[in-house]
Amino acid sequence: MPKFYITTPIYYVTDKPHLGNAYPTIVADVLARWHRLRGDDVYFLVGTDEHGEKVETAAKAAGKAPKEFVDSIVGVYRDVWSKLSISYDVFVRTSSPAHEAVVAQVIDKMARSGDIYVGNYEGWYCLPDESFWTDLQLINGKCPICGREVKKLKEETYFFRLSRYQDRLLKFYDDRPAFLSPKLRSKEIINRVKDGLRDVSITRTTVKWAVPFPMDKKHYVYVWVDALCNYISALGWPDGDKFGEFWPADVHLVGKEINWFHSVIWPAMLFSAGIEPPKMVFAHGWWTADGKKMSKSLGNFVDITGLADKYSVDAVRYTLLREMPLGDDGDFSEKTMITRLNNELVAELGNLVNRALTIAEKFDDKIEGTPELDAKLDIEKIDNAMLELDTFGALNEIFAYIRVANKYVNDKEPWKLHGKELSQVLYNLLESIRIISVLISPFMPDTGKRLSEQLGVEQGKLSDCKFGAFNGKPKRGAYLFRKVQTTE
């Protein structure tokens, strides 16, 4: 059985989930569900990044001890992922003793490779991103990622010899061209590595809410080194069965702002520890809201659970996946979401199902016929798109077929037919809808399930997406989606 291991970023537990971190989690869920449809053995990781100065500061502001604070936020994440139908297999927490033990073991391996040494660090530190920068990397004196203020730090630290792995990384990128994905992000990473790598600080002395550094009790592990190890600690590295079964990861899905940590520092750490790197790091784009970058100061973070309550979970999932190709930047607008809901989910998918099932449940004879619509659907093309992480392209193909089926209804006018002629049309429509219910289920799980129930069939796998005998008992239920009335 083919294996598929996909991970999302693990999110800082400083606030509740919003659109920015719900997006990659939904994308990863769709990919995991698709691979399950294919019959693959899937392991899907989500989790929370619970250490570091930013978390320590947030806990203090909330009047709580760090552990008490992170426990309360983790519960919120679990609830939101459940609400959004996220079918994860493991929820990793970096404050767990098992994870902390793996971090210490990885550092021990790196030290045995001669890649860790003590020195003094002086540079600029961005608290929101928990990242260090040189004078040359700053933009107008501010963090190049988030544009916020940085502070000067000078302290004793332990360094990782990242510079030692420059040539090996470049050869790795050349040998594994899919590792840096999508292609539009690879050039930036490769050029930065070619410009030269500096050794990186991997410990702090001033932050106590962190993993103790095993080589020196005065030091604590820098949060990024700690966090990156979650992808193998969740598998029970080094001896766990899951590690042997699923590593290397097929896809680390991350935001483009943390691509450097995952595409450069992480594989170098793994080289040092004698562990094979993942197969791919895919850096997705950023969402803006009505043309402006989301930020707490602007107050324009999109409340993902509020949207789900207002329009349905599946409508939210569909819009985020339909609005832009994975890897591009996109702008979220509630107005655009309503337009897609009304025009595509209601007028195309919902209309097809409602018209077909309304007629089918009144048809007393056995529904049978010969395929007429099967040639209009290219399952292999959709599957290949999903294997290439082209969720946008796959949805385009699925909804193109939904429009073909709607045209078939308009052309055949089944409400005017009887007997075998009607049976022939209903057969093609119901088999089409049965297959559509399978194909859309990773994107809109509840909708796929409801469709199967209305058709009176079991939910199928990808291998069932071919015309055969229709054996269901159609019974039209509630509308899949309701049109949203607007003032325009």
Q: Is the dihedral of CA 357, 358, 359, 365 positive or negative?
A: positive
- Per-residue pLDDT tens, the chain, 488 aa: give them: 899 999 999 998 987 888 988 999 999 999 999 999 999 999 999 999 999 988 998 899 999 999 999 999 999 999 999 999 999 999 999 999 999 999 999 999 999 999 999 998 877 877 666 677 776 677 888 887 677 788 877 789 999 999 999 999 999 999 999 999 999 999 999 999 999 999 999 999 989 999 999 999 999 999 999 999 999 999 999 999 999 999 999 999 999 999 999 999 999 999 999 999 999 999 999 888 877 766 655 566 788 999 999 999 999 999 999 999 999 999 998 999 999 999 999 999 999 999 999 999 999 899 999 999 999 999 999 999 999 999 999 999 999 999 999 999 999 999 999 999 999 999 999 999 999 999 999 999 999 999 999 999 999 999 999 999 999 999 999 999 999 988 76
From the CB of residue 261, how many other CB atoms can be counted at a distance below 10 Å?
21
Is residue 418, in this structure, part of any structural domain at all? yes
Residue 429 structural domain = 333-464
Is residue 120, in this structure, part of any structural domain at all? no
**Residue 423 is part of a domain; what is its CATH number?**
1.10.730.10
For the chain, how many structural domains are there in total? 1
Is residue 449, in this structure, part of any structural domain at all? yes
Is residue 55, in this structure, part of any structural domain at all? no
Is residue 359, in this structure, part of any structural domain at all? yes
Neighbouring residues of 135: CB distance < 8 A, sequence distance ≥ 6 = 124
Is residue 441, in this structure, part of any structural domain at all? yes
> What residue ranges in 130-193 does DSSP mark as E strands?
131-133, 151-160, 180-181
Q: What integer pLDDT is reported at residue 129 of this predicted model?
A: 65
pTM of model > 0.85:
yes
Is residue 447, in this structure, part of any structural domain at all? yes
Is residue 256, in this structure, part of any structural domain at all? no
Q: What integer pLDDT is reported at residue 298 of this predicted model?
A: 59
